[in-house]
């Protein structure tokens, strides 16, 4: 069985579920440490992590790659901290009522401006 190394961890090819879980935990731990490093840009750091995973998964066939990413992403979501300031339901966007209300107000302001312009 072939072995590869990523982030200091040895992986069977294809990797087992426990190895993928361990990688997700290592990435989460390193990201938590990077948050407090003032010289680390988190966007670049996260992209570099994802690029390493991408390069690693190129050795897998499409089915194995899909299973790897499914397990890896599910584990990252599972161990993520809940963000009370940005709950998932906030991603839904504005309600249709709020949008119509704002558009109505904008239309009224424009109509009033045109009326005042024509009146003078």
**pLDDT, tens digit, 9 for 90 and up, residues 32-76:** 888 888 888 888 888 988 999 999 999 899 999 999 999 999 998
Instruction: Give the tens place of pLDDT for each residue, 85-97.
Output: 777 677 677 788 8
**pLDDT (average), residues 6-18:** 86
What's the pLDDT score for residue 6?
A: 82
What's the pLDDT score for residue 102?
A: 95
Residue 70 lies in a domain: yes
List the structure tokens of 92. 């839904």
Residue 99 lies in a domain: no
What's the pLDDT score for residue 1?
A: 63
Q: How many domains would you assign to the chain? A: 1
Residue 111 lies in a domain: no
pLDDT of 11 > 80? The answer is yes
17 Cβ neighbours under 8 A, 6+ residues apart:
71
Residue 100 lies in a domain: no
What's the pLDDT score for residue 82?
A: 74
Residue 57 lies in a domain: yes
Residue 98 lies in a domain: no
Residue 67 lies in a domain: yes
What's the pLDDT score for residue 33?
A: 87
Residue 77 lies in a domain: yes
Domain span including residue 23:
3-93
């Amino acid at each position: 069985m072939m072995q590869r190394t990523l982030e200091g961890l040895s992986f069977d090819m294809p990797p087992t579920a426990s190895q993928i879980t361990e990688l997700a935990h290592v990435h989460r731990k390193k990201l938590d440490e990077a948050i407090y490093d003032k010289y680390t840009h988190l966007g670049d750091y996260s992209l570099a992590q994802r690029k390493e995973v991408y390069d690693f998964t190129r050795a897998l066939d499409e089915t194995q790659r899909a299973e790897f990413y499914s397990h890896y992403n599910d584990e990252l979501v599972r161990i993520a901290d809940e963000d009370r300031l940005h709950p998932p339901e906030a991603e839904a966007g504005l309600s249709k009522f709020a949008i119509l209300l704002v558009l109505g107000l904008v239309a009224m302001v424009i109509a009033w401006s045109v009326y005042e312009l024509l009146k003078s």
